[in-house]
Amino acid sequence: MSKLKTKTTIITGAANGIGLAAARLFAAEGAAIVLADVDVKNGEAAAEEINRGNGQALFVKTDVSIETEMHGLVQTTLKHFGDLDIMYNNAGYQETHKLHELSDDSWNRQVDINLRGSYLGCKFAVEHFMRKRSGTILNTSSIAGVFPTCDRPAYNAAKGGVIMLTKNIAMEYGEYNIRANVICPGVVRTKMTGLLDNDPESEEGGKRASVLHRVGEPEEIAKAALFLVSDDASFITGISLFVDGGMNLGGLWR
Ligand X SMILES: NC(=O)c1ccc[n+]([C@@H]2O[C@H](COP(=O)([O-])OP(=O)(O)OC[C@H]3O[C@@H](n4cnc5c(N)ncnc54)[C@H](O)[C@@H]3O)[C@@H](O)[C@H]2O)c1
Per CB under 6 A, residues contacting ligand X are: 12-13, 15-19, 37-39, 62-65, 90-93, 113, 140, 142, 185, 187-188, 190-193
The residue among 40, 77, 79, 35 whose CA lies nearest residue 57 is 35
- Measured from the CB atom, the residue of 94 and 136 that comes closer to ligand X is 94
Least separation, in Å, of the C-beta of 162 and ligand X?
8
What is the C-alpha separation between 227 and 223, in angstroms, rounded? Answer: 6
Q: Crossing angle, helix 153-173 and helix 117-132, to 10 degrees? A: 10
Pick between residue 132 and residue 213 the one whose CB is nearest to ligand X. 213
Query: From the candidates 88, 93, 155, 173, which is the catalytic residue?
Result: 155
Distance CA 7, CA 88 (A): 12
- CA atoms of 249 and 78, how far apart (whole Å): 42
Alpha carbons 69 and 63: distance in angstroms, whole number: 6
Q: Provide the minimum distance between the beta carbon of 92 and ligand X in the complex, in angstroms, as a whole number.
A: 2
How far is residue 218's CA from residue 221's CA, in Å, rounded to a whole number?
A: 5
CB of 143 to ligand X, least distance (A): 6
Q: What angle do CA 96, 98, 104 make, to 5 degrees?
A: 80
C-beta closer to ligand X: residue 5 or 209: 209
Residue 155 designated active-site: yes
Least distance from ligand X to the Cβ atom of residue 126, Å: 19
Residue 171 C-beta: closest distance to ligand X, Å: 23
Nearer CB in complex with ligand X: 8/210: 210
Burial label for 98, CB within 10 Å (0-12, 13-18, 19+), is exposed
The end-to-end CA distance of the chain, in Å, is 40
**Cβ closest to ligand X, residue 39 vs residue 85:** 39
Active site amino acids: 155
